[in-house]
Structure 1
Amino acid sequence: MPSASSTSVVSPPGQPCRPEAMRIWYTRCPLPTASSIAIERGMLDDEFRADGIVVQSLNASSDMAVREAHYNHGQTNLFRQGGNIPPIWSRSRGADTVVVATNWIDEYQAIVALPSSGIQNAADLRGKRLGMPRRLNEQIDYWRAMCLRGYLAALEIAGLEPNDVEFVDLPIDEKQIPTGGASQRGTLWRGANRARRQSREALALIRGEIDAIYTAGAPGAQLSSFMGASTVVDLGAHADSGSRVNNQVPTVLTVDGELARSAPETVARYLAALMQAARWAHEHEAETLGIVGGDVGATPEWVTAAYGAEVHDRLALELDERSIAAVAAQKAFLLGNGFIDKDFDAGAWIDPRPLELARGMDHERRLG
């Protein structure tokens, strides 16, 4: 792993060694994030260019060990904004990371079934077969965890227990992060892989091998419409926010712990650039929907259908009590259901100081 500090590189004979530029890595999930806006608009490049700091996506590397840092956070100087399951998993395995911000955007989440199944509500799930994808070649099967959490929330709404239904394993060989390394800024999530995320479940549903599936986000809304599926439980619209908590609600922004300790101002500057991006999104609705759509793989129509008509106003960085409690609840769910083996103090994992510093920095810039 490269060092977080600058190192010397060989210079021509007779010239002093010059330090190698610091390199910041980033990655984001295919979700609405301030990171997507800042990356697409070049705001991170602008923030650090004068200091000679290189900012680039994990997608710039063809090394799968670097690319899969999206899951294990194993790359030095990495910022990651996205779903909360992989960072909780990596932290439980000893990854030196810090949560510096969260963001809560309610999204389309539902248990769906084909109309021919006769399943109309959560109570009708009793005795039914629920599809459970199992990715055989992933470090952390976050989608399986998402599905289970969605199913358990739906069963609880109906007063049912897990043993009232049958969970049907659906093995999947394909990895979600493809090989690559073609883009300095680009996302890891390519169209074909993204589109196939639930193909195994959808085909099993159509073939009658299962009775219902969990789905979420813009891809999920599109998939449900494509299949003509009926909504059995609309989790995304449930009044209890606890029922809406899953991998993508809330998202978390994590950073390499060593970078946070040794260069807090650098971390704050990164966050300040995301704050700028969130403000830009507020003032540029159409452009924001286009950028988000590019990341999630959907047209603006489906972006607003899945994440709300005001999604462009909801990208601000937060670290509120609801989100902090949700992260702790998600950790408890993952531990209780065998997705992580080791417990850790979720409260100690969250550090509000970088966001506080960034807010002060952002305020001064806006005044000046």
Structure 2
Amino acid sequence: MDTITIKGRAMRSVNVDWNEFYYTNCPLVSPSNVDQEIGWVREELKKIGVAYKFLRSTVENDWYPHYVHNLDNLMRFGGCFPAIHVQADIRRTRLIGTTHVYEGGCMLVRARDPIYKMRDLRGKKIGLTKSLNAIKNDWWRVQEEQGIELMLALNDMKRDDVEVVEFPYPDDWYDKPEMLAPMENPSELWLKRDHKHDLAFRPLELALLEGKVDAIYTQTGPFQHIQEQTGKIKAIENLANYPDWTLQGANVPATCTVSDVACEKHPEVIVALLKGLIKVGHWSNRHKHAAAAILDKQTYYLDVEDTYRNILNVDMVPSLSPYNLEALQINKDFMLSHGYIENDFDIYEWAAPEFLEKAAAELLDEEWTKRSKARLPEATSLDKAMSARLG
């Protein structure tokens, strides 16, 4: 592909070779995060002669393709805000799957402060991060601002009722040499740091504890439980407690995206990839505790049991359900209205269900053939079985 230039800066990546395909995952709940330990997508791609590699397994790639998708042969499974930003303002991608975790976000305050409800925050300070990186999407800030505004509205409050205090930070580590040691698996990143207790992933917590602000936003479940277990912080509002599903923004549903070039030139790769993810998703649904043990290595829930409780009702099979697509449309509209993206687009036109449909059909036929081979003189395809005369 031609080099993508963003804000006057040429992005770098490995030269495209269609005998290999890269993946990158956000540390959240998705079948790809389970598959990075199981390897079933790699098996499916190997069947068609394509090597499946983690984005950072080669020195040619820095971390930016995870955020701006400047690599044709790449699959990204992660938070929706960066993916929406890419589709709106950077390059054409296709949405081939989603998974949804219903966690809208919490408002945290100091545990011993006499603050027990949102109305107690009138006239007080709420923190809001601000990335100074103009290349990538400021997904931390998007979810914070979205969550803060929703919690204020639910309690008959407006932004003018509180003081929003910004905390700018450089956010410039994505191509620094010290951050670019190759790794074969994204799990290796967390082997090198105690991510569940690393305040780099909870940027406003110190500001709250030091009294610079009176409240901060955090994700429901991940982060919230770890932060509460310090004994220093409590939640006074939780969007996940409301029956209104449109409140569950928080950078979800997680999105699985690939480039339009990959879809047009090598649809067989996209189908093979999805076959692996569907299999992993079904396995995860049947073995939630085992999936939780894998996800606990890379997500921010308190421990394996806490991870298990939070994914118990999550469908891990990628889908493009109307529910998930409309949730993405809500998030996209918020980003557009608040200046996080410049261009509008239709989420439903972004979605490409034909790849998921073909992958599911091939898996079904393969399973039928496998089972019929064990019970019939000659294995049959599902098409032949369905067209056979009945009665």
**Do the aligned residues in 1 keep the contact of 2:108 with 2:233 (CA within 8 Å)?**
yes
**Take 1:97 and 1:261, find their aligned partners in 2: how far apart are those partners?**
11
SS in 2 for 1:210: coil
Provide closer, same or farther for how the CA distance between residues 21 and 250 of structure 1 changes in structure 2, counting only shifts above 3 A.
closer
**1:266 pairs with 2:278:** no
**Take 1:265 and 1:118, find their aligned partners in 2: how far apart are those partners?**
59
Gaps of 5+ in 1: 4-19
Q: Of 114, 119, 123, which residue of structure 1 is paired with 2:110?
A: 114
**1:41 pairs with 2:45:** no
Q: Of 59, 80, 85, which residue of structure 2 is paired with 1:84?
A: 80
**Do the aligned residues in 2 keep the contact of 1:201 with 1:213 (CA within 8 Å)?**
yes
Q: Tell me which residue corresponds to 1:14.
A: none
Q: Tell me which residue corresponds to 2:320.
A: 319
Q: Tell me which residue corresponds to 1:6.
A: none
String of CA shifts for 1:107-154, please: whole Å, max 9, x gaps: 372111113332212222322211101122362211011100110110
Q: For residue 78 of structure 1, what is the amino acid of its counterpart? A: L
**Take 1:132 and 1:356, find their aligned partners in 2: how far apart are those partners?**
41
Taking the TM superposition and a 5 Å limit, the aligned residue runs for 1:91-102 are 91-102=87-98
Taking the TM superposition and a 5 Å limit, the aligned residue runs for 1:184-195 are 184-187=184-187, 190=190, 191=193, 195=198
Q: For residue 32 of structure 1, what is the amino acid of its counterpart? A: V
Q: Of 72, 75, 79, which residue of structure 1 is paired with 2:71?
A: 75
Q: For residue 259 of structure 1, what is the amino acid of its counterpart? A: A
Q: For residue 344 of structure 2, what is the amino acid of its counterpart? A: D
Taking the TM superposition and a 5 Å limit, the aligned residue runs for 1:1-16 are 1=1
Following superposition, the deviation at residue 76 of structure 1 comes to 1.4
Q: For residue 114 of structure 1, what is the amino acid of its counterpart? A: R
Q: Tell me which residue corresponds to 1:222.
A: 226
SS in 1 for 2:72: coil
Q: Tell me which residue corresponds to 1:234.
A: 238
**Take 1:228 and 1:125, find their aligned partners in 2: how far apart are those partners?**
18
Q: Tell me which residue corresponds to 1:276.
A: 279
Following superposition, the deviation at residue 187 of structure 1 comes to 4.7
**Take 2:291 and 2:132, find their aligned partners in 1: how far apart are those partners?**
35
**Do the aligned residues in 2 keep the contact of 1:21 with 1:52 (CA within 8 Å)?**
no
Following superposition, the deviation at residue 61 of structure 1 comes to 2.8
Following superposition, the deviation at residue 21 of structure 1 comes to 6.0
**Take 1:188 and 1:77, find their aligned partners in 2: how far apart are those partners?**
22
Q: Which has the larger radius of gyration?
A: 2
**Do the aligned residues in 1 keep the contact of 2:187 with 2:297 (CA within 8 Å)?**
no
**Take 1:219 and 1:158, find their aligned partners in 2: how far apart are those partners?**
23
Q: For residue 326 of structure 1, what is the amino acid of its counterpart? A: A
**Do the aligned residues in 2 keep the contact of 1:23 with 1:77 (CA within 8 Å)?**
yes
Following superposition, the deviation at residue 37 of structure 1 comes to 1.8
Provide closer, same or farther for how the CA distance between residues 36 and 91 of structure 1 changes in structure 2, counting only shifts above 3 A.
same
**Do the aligned residues in 1 keep the contact of 2:119 with 2:157 (CA within 8 Å)?**
yes
Q: For residue 126 of structure 1, what is the amino acid of its counterpart? A: R
**Take 1:189 and 1:135, find their aligned partners in 2: how far apart are those partners?**
22
Q: Tell me which residue corresponds to 2:49.
A: 52
Q: For residue 117 of structure 2, what is the amino acid of its counterpart? A: N
Q: Tell me which residue corresponds to 2:329.
A: 328
**Do the aligned residues in 2 keep the contact of 1:335 with 1:343 (CA within 8 Å)?**
yes
Provide closer, same or farther for how the CA distance between residues 94 and 175 of structure 1 changes in structure 2, counting only shifts above 3 A.
closer
Gaps of 5+ in 2: 4-16, 370-391
SS in 2 for 1:330: helix
SS in 2 for 1:123: helix
**Take 2:218 and 2:22, find their aligned partners in 1: how far apart are those partners?**
30
Q: For residue 69 of structure 2, what is the amino acid of its counterpart? A: H
Provide closer, same or farther for how the CA distance between residues 91 and 109 of structure 1 changes in structure 2, counting only shifts above 3 A.
same
String of CA shifts for 1:80-104, please: whole Å, max 9, x gaps: 1111000111111131201111111
**Take 2:47 and 2:294, find their aligned partners in 1: how far apart are those partners?**
26
Count, aligned residues: 347
Q: Of 147, 150, 153, which residue of structure 2 is paired with 1:150?
A: 147
**Take 2:189 and 2:222, find their aligned partners in 1: how far apart are those partners?**
14
**Mean Cα deviation higher: 36-45 or 140-149:** 36-45
CA-based RMSD: 2.3
SS in 2 for 1:93: helix
Q: Tell me which residue corresponds to 1:129.
A: 125
SS in 1 for 2:230: helix
Q: Tell me which residue corresponds to 1:246.
A: 250
Provide closer, same or farther for how the CA distance between residues 2 and 45 of structure 1 changes in structure 2, counting only shifts above 3 A.
farther
**Take 2:183 and 2:68, find their aligned partners in 1: how far apart are those partners?**
21
**Do the aligned residues in 2 keep the contact of 1:114 with 1:227 (CA within 8 Å)?**
no
Q: Tell me which residue corresponds to 2:308.
A: 304
String of CA shifts for 1:14-57, please: whole Å, max 9, x gaps: xxxxxx66111111110111002222111122112233311111
Provide closer, same or farther for how the CA distance between residues 345 and 297 of structure 1 changes in structure 2, counting only shifts above 3 A.
closer
Q: For residue 98 of structure 1, what is the amino acid of its counterpart? A: R
Q: For residue 127 of structure 2, what is the amino acid of its counterpart? A: G
SS in 2 for 1:325: helix
Provide closer, same or farther for how the CA distance between residues 126 and 61 of structure 1 changes in structure 2, counting only shifts above 3 A.
farther
Q: For residue 222 of structure 2, what is the amino acid of its counterpart? A: A
